[in-house]
Structure 1
Amino acid sequence: MSSPKDSPSNDPPSQARGSKSPSAMNGKLFPQQTYVSQPLTVKRKKRWHAIALSFAALLWITSTSHYVSRIQHRATLPGLNLRSYPGEKIKWSPCGEINDHEVECSDINVPMDQFNATNSGDKTFNIPLIRLRGKNATQNVLLNPGGPGGSGFGFLYELGSELNTIVGENFHLLSFDPRGVNSSTPLASCYPDEETKTKFHYNRDDDVVRDSGKRHAWSTNYAKACAENMGEHGKYVNTPQTAADMNSILDALGQRDMVYWGFSYGTLLGQTYATMFPERSKRVIIDGVANQFEWYEAHILEMDFVDTFKVIDGFFDECLKAGGDCPLASFAKTTAELKGKISGITSQLHDEPISVYKDPSTYGTIDANNFLIDGFFRATYAPKGWPKFAQTLANLLNGNATDALLAFTFSTFAKIKGDSTDIITLNDGISGAKYWAQGHQAYNDKMQPFYRNLSFAATLSRQYGAKQQWAIPRTHNYIPQKGVKTTHPLLILSTTYDPVCSLTAARTANEAFVDSRLVELKAYGHCSLAMPSLCIVKHVRNFLRDGSMPPEGATCEMDGSYFGKEDGKVEKRGDGGDGKILEAQERIAEKMRWVLP
């Protein structure tokens, strides 16, 4: 293990292309497989130009005015102006500007199967890359926003300015669309086109118990459609392959060491990478940690939701503590009383959904699923949205359901192109007849005890229904390990109460990776981005700069509050560095859009 004061190296890896990864052989994760990396050249310039233009257009269509003001439209840039940099094997095209920082785009082709050149033949995936250049940078930090299925392009365009403020100018911020995701080709999709998807897709059950027969029947066809539509490429859309793709990205950059910050699903990708390639894992941060042992080896991901209801309880507790600063506080004197009133709404909506009409283009119904999943469940991710959510609930209690319709039905959460969330999840895990007893009754016997204890079960039934009958064979043989010793220890970040990636899962990762350190942010919400904290930023910056590790048992307090005015910390720092960092964290906490079912 290197000294904590060692900096990541820009030197290209000594391992020759086509040789076996040392970690793969020593850990016996891929004993029969060869790590291959196709020669990296700039290809399909016209295609990339079109992609860059379409992304810029999409930004102008979907972004807020504040966001648009910070992005230069791609079409106004003169030509392609292809750029190259010493040590890199690819060329870049300018594709925007964010807060006086250049944004550039490129792409690489990677083998369909990174571990078997014979399987790949001439088949490849195209991986688009995007980079926001740091003003003093010589290193690239790779970012993954989660999902699976989250686009690195949307993430960097949306939050690049804020992330640059947090990380600082000594690193370029580089993200990508993983294989099968968004603008990567071929796209991971179970349908030949969007029209077919609109016609046949069955996203959510009204009642997971009553509708299980319908779900089972639909899943039979869905699993077949995913396999047939994806063809040979479908078998290789999985996280271990994407981890190997990240080495291809590093090779294209001429950068030996992995510098990485992954969020949510990105922590699974980070753990997978660090286990497969410990010798290149120099600065790996995983933030909002999922349990990789369950992800790859369990039928049901039970650990995901162990703290969800603690976050909901926290919403009610913090509301009552805030008094007049929380619009709901006037409806009850105790947390139990307030929860009782909201439970009453849920029961009413289950029996009799509310019809809401605003105008010919804005109307719909609110039912119990809308209320629980699109309302409460999604609110648990982002506490900075709690004041607005509390106002929506207060309006609903007062008989005004319009805000609830807009918030719960016309959701602003991230939508994904294609079906990469399902395909990656089910290709990674133990899916299909090899691992699951078949038939409707077998499905019920397995899933109903889990569903009955989870109010948000309707958001999961599509994936679990398909998981039982999944028709794409599992081609990877990755097995999560304990006692993994990376070149430099991992930095692990978690809130105290994360609704979908528990602190317990973060501790599991802490135990799996030798000398790793866990920093607990004393807050509610998903990932350390959920609430501002200068303490968290200090640990991230120190780790990226020279590998400095926090002490065992490190904790951080959040800077700010859930309801009402802030405690003055931002104002006291004025326009200084800390003030700008806190403002950037505030904006991230307010704007972050997670990929949700």
Structure 2
Amino acid sequence: MRNLVTLTSAAAVLAASLALPAQAATAAPQWAACPAGKGVDPRQECATLKVPMDYSDPGGPMISLAISRIRTAQPGTRRGVLLIIPGGPGSPGLNRPSVQVAKLPQAVLDRFDVVGFDPRGVGQSSPVSCGLEPRDLDLTRLKPYPDADGGIAANAAWSRRIAEACARNGGPLIRHISTRNEARDIDAIRRALGEKKLSYWGVSYGTYAGAVYATMFPERTDRVILDSNDDPDPRKVARQWLANYAVGVEDRFPDFAAWAAARDGDYGLGADAGAVRRIFLELAARLDREPLTWKGANPPLLTGNLLRETMLNVLYSDAGFPVLAGLMKAARTGAELPPANTPPEAAMQNTAAHAGATMCNDVEWPDSISRHERQVKRNREEFPLTAGMPVNLGPCAYWPYKPAERPVKVGSRGPANVMLIQNLRDPSTPYSGALKMREAFGQRARMVSVDSGGHGVYLANGNACGDRAVTGFLTGGHLPRHDQSC
């Protein structure tokens, strides 16, 4: 069986490399100063590449990829490129070099040009939009929270509207946004930069895109960092990522509860972690029945589901704990609620379209309403903090296009050059899912497990042990002999 799997994986990699124009010539980028903007480092340069919209039709329509770089100040020690693969799906990455050069150790900056890009369909890279109605950009629909009673009829109606709007307004590119095509775009960037091999740092969804690249093009990888790892299950892909929110929030909420309990005198949310959890669940249930007016939200109401969604986002970083605690205190005491921080509509339109296209084009999703109703009921009972959202149905149940290709099965064929770094208590990409990524890579990878909470590890939460491990691998190139704990 092991030999059969190895041969099958090898055949899949060969097909991915040969069936599509992976070796096609890509014009060298014409670099120029990036448009000035908040946080843009003056050293950052920008360029545009042309790549096929459909890689099976290389002579057909082309799309634009926006890329950026900050070159090493030490060309004599330069090793190559460190590409930053953004998360999401749907997050822009063009200005990530400006952000990360302020954090990366000098030893890394001496060895690499730091390169960023907006993935196809995002930001400055031929952006897509489904032209959604404002009501359909409600954060508690974009993540499919059931109604207060657990019903999902409203989710089904919303999901149909989104799928129909994307088919009507998304244009031809909407069919060709997928993780496989992002991996091919990454290889086009490598070729355009004249690099034989590519080092990269993928975060969140970027770990899956990076894992797919390392599987499709293993011999073109140099030093690979995958940070906050998705479960790469090829049968479910993003459906499993959504389901993992239930586990991740349960893993992470105790950190917030302990923090709030230690400040009971300030917030009045309970003197111990168990009390904070009970108060959160009671407040969410009350807001299910009696929402409060919340300026800046869409719609302008603090519902139980919007409290749950706020909680999930706050758990990404300890820095957000005061936001959730303050909101809960105000909602419980009748004080004026702090203004909601809702993303701009244009950004939400782009993110929703790209995320939906990626998730729906990567793999088929079940469309049985009765099945989802059963799943939601069980999930609400087992994981009450997320109230059934992680297993609910969404637009992919009604997506008008079939996936053009099967999902990539991440595998162990290729050089041992992959370092996974993972928080033990991550609300979005939980440790249990990261272990599946580690298993999929086999001896190609080592994992550094960090005893910390939140989403994002390297240079994100002050864990010196984890940071040293990643920096040492980037600068020295040697994986540890064994997985490590920090």
Verify: 1:424 aligned to 2:358, yes or no. Answer: yes
Aligned-partner Cα distance in 2 for 1:437–1:469? 7
Aligned-partner Cα distance in 1 for 2:167–2:275? 50
Partner of 1:147: 88
Aligned-partner Cα distance in 2 for 1:331–1:202? 28
Query: 1:549: Cα distance to partner?
Result: 1.9
Verify: 1:284 aligned to 2:214, yes or no. Answer: no
Partner of 2:4: none
Verify: 1:351 aligned to 2:289, yes or no. Answer: yes
What is the number of equivalent residue pairs in this alignment?
464
Contact 2:246/2:386, CA 8 A, preserved across alignment: no
Contact 2:379/2:391, CA 8 A, preserved across alignment: no
Aligned-partner Cα distance in 2 for 1:357–1:254? 51
Contact 2:375/2:391, CA 8 A, preserved across alignment: no
Partner of 2:119: 178
Q: CA 1:414–1:381 in 2, change beyond 3 Å: closer, same or farther?
A: farther
SS at match of 1:519: strand
Verify: 1:268 aligned to 2:208, yes or no. Answer: yes
Partner of 1:65: none
SS at match of 1:307: helix
Partner of 1:503: 431
Aligned-partner Cα distance in 2 for 1:293–1:38? 30
Larger radius of gyration: 1
Which range is displaced more, 295-304 or 252-261?
A: 295-304
Partner of 1:121: 59
Contact 1:166/1:537, CA 8 A, preserved across alignment: no
Q: Partner letter of residue 89 of structure 2?
A: P
Q: Partner letter of residue 51 of structure 2?
A: V
Query: 1:106: Cα distance to partner?
Result: 0.3
CA-based RMSD? 3.4
Partner of 2:195: 255
Query: 1:345: Cα distance to partner?
Result: 2.0
TM, length-normalised to structure 2: 0.84
Alignment of 1:221-240 (within 5 A): 221-240=161-180
Query: 1:437: Cα distance to partner?
Result: 4.9
Verify: 1:333 aligned to 2:271, yes or no. Answer: yes
Q: Partner letter of residue 430 of structure 1?
A: E
Q: CA 1:165–1:102 in 2, change beyond 3 Å: closer, same or farther?
A: same
SS at match of 1:493: strand
Partner of 2:420: 492
Alignment of 1:402-421 (within 5 A): 402-403=337-338, 406-407=339-340, 410=342, 415-418=347-350, 419-421=353-355
| Per-residue CA distance 1:224-277 (angstroms, 9 max, x = gap) | 332343344332210011101111101111111110000000000011011111
Contact 1:37/1:110, CA 8 A, preserved across alignment: no
Question: 452, 455, 471: which is aligned to 1:523?
Answer: 452
Q: CA 1:176–1:363 in 2, change beyond 3 Å: closer, same or farther?
A: closer
Partner of 1:555: 485
Aligned-partner Cα distance in 2 for 1:452–1:518? 33
**Structure 1: which 5+ runs fail to align?**
1-21, 42-88, 557-597
Contact 1:164/1:173, CA 8 A, preserved across alignment: no
Question: 155, 158, 161: which is aligned to 2:102?
Answer: 161
Q: CA 1:401–1:200 in 2, change beyond 3 Å: closer, same or farther?
A: closer
Contact 1:23/1:276, CA 8 A, preserved across alignment: no
Contact 2:410/2:440, CA 8 A, preserved across alignment: yes
Contact 2:260/2:276, CA 8 A, preserved across alignment: no
Contact 2:89/2:354, CA 8 A, preserved across alignment: yes
Partner of 1:51: none
Query: 1:220: Cα distance to partner?
Result: 2.7
Q: CA 1:510–1:29 in 2, change beyond 3 Å: closer, same or farther?
A: farther
Query: 1:412: Cα distance to partner?
Result: 9.3
Query: 1:126: Cα distance to partner?
Result: 1.0
Question: 312, 317, 341: which is aligned to 1:382?
Answer: 317
Partner of 1:56: none
SS at match of 1:485: coil
**Structure 2: which 5+ runs fail to align?**
1-7
Contact 1:261/1:284, CA 8 A, preserved across alignment: yes
| Per-residue CA distance 1:562-592 (angstroms, 9 max, x = gap) | xxxxxxxxxxxxxxxxxxxxxxxxxxxxxxx
Q: Partner letter of residue 155 of structure 1?
A: R
Query: 1:199: Cα distance to partner?
Result: 6.5
SS at match of 2:233: helix
| Per-residue CA distance 1:455-512 (angstroms, 9 max, x = gap) | 43576688x3212111112012243144x13224200000011111111222222222
Which range is displaced more, 262-271 or 301-310?
A: 301-310
Q: CA 1:476–1:343 in 2, change beyond 3 Å: closer, same or farther?
A: same
Aligned-partner Cα distance in 2 for 1:472–1:146? 24
Partner of 1:536: 466
